[in-house]
Structure 1
Amino acid sequence: MHIKTFDAAVPYEAPNHFGCYGLRLQGFEPGGPTNQWVAISQFLPGGGAGPDSTPFEKVYVVLEGEMTVIADGREVVLKKYDSCTIAPGEIRTIENRANLTCTMLVVIPYPKEAGK
């Protein structure tokens, strides 16, 4: 078992994100997960990311607030405990259009170059 307290979470900057503060909860440390890493992203009102894509899938779970996700010409608002999977290569934009901070759990597999 690998335990990491929230106080030990390490901040990180995600490319092409704005109005966002990310904390890595698990991953990229000895004894941690070997297949994916897990983060909490906090988006201020007006914050978001994209448009862009990655060569691997991502899972978003909204824990607080709401997030608008736009992909493949479809727009959906995720609310508390709603989730979505973004497929590899899928171009997505996310926008916090609400007046409250949105907190999302993000699960992403390790990139191949990380050797995982």
Structure 2
Amino acid sequence: MDVVRLVDARTYIAPKHYDMRSLRLQGVDASAADFAWAGLSYFLPGGGAEMDAGPLGKIYVVIEGEVTIELASGETQVLGKLDSCFIPGGEGRAVRNDGNVIAAMIVVMPYPEKNA
């Protein structure tokens, strides 16, 4: 078992994100998880992620505050505490914290296929 204590979690840079800080909870360089990685993102008020469409699906779980998810299709959802969503690979999405308190969100993503 690989245990990562929050106090020991390392920061990482998430491209195209702003006013956001992230910690690696599992996978990549945090543990031996070989099927997916998990991160914790803290979005300051007004913070977010630019519209982007990555090749891999992702799961978001909001654990504090509210986060607005806008899809390239125009659909918009506001996720509150313990709400979650799955965004398929190739689907454009933007993330925003439109509130006045810090929002926290768990992100879970698979690793890319090694021979893809």
Range of TM-score over shorter length: over 0.9
Pairing of 1:42-61 with structure 2 (within 5 A): 42-61=42-61
Q: Distance in 2 between matches of 1:13 and 1:98?
A: 23
Across the aligned residues of Structure 1 and Structure 2, the Cα RMSD in angstroms comes to 1.5
Q: TM-score, normalised by structure 2?
A: 0.93
* Bigger Cα displacement from structure 2, 24-33 vs 87-96: 24-33
What TM-score does the superposition give when structure 1 sets the normalisation length?
0.93
Shift of 1:18: 0.2
Give ranges in structure 1 of 5+ residues lacking alignment: none
Whole-angstrom CA distance in 1 between matches of 2:30 and 2:18: 30
Partner of 1:16: 16
Of all paired residues, the percent bearing the same amino acid is: 43
Tell me if structure 1 keeps the 8 A contact 2:24–2:30.
no
Structure 2: runs of 5 or more not aligned: none
1:22-101 equivalence runs, <5 A: 22-29=22-29, 32-71=32-71, 72-101=73-102
How many residues are treated as equivalent by the alignment?
114
User: Following superposition, which runs of at least 4 residues in structure 1 exceed 6 angstroms of deviation?
Assistant: none
The 1:52–1:79 alpha-carbon spacing in structure 2 relative to 1, beyond 3 Å, is: same
18 and 4 in structure 1: CA distance in 2 versus 1, 3 angstrom threshold: same
- 3-state SS, counterpart of residue 33 of structure 1: coil
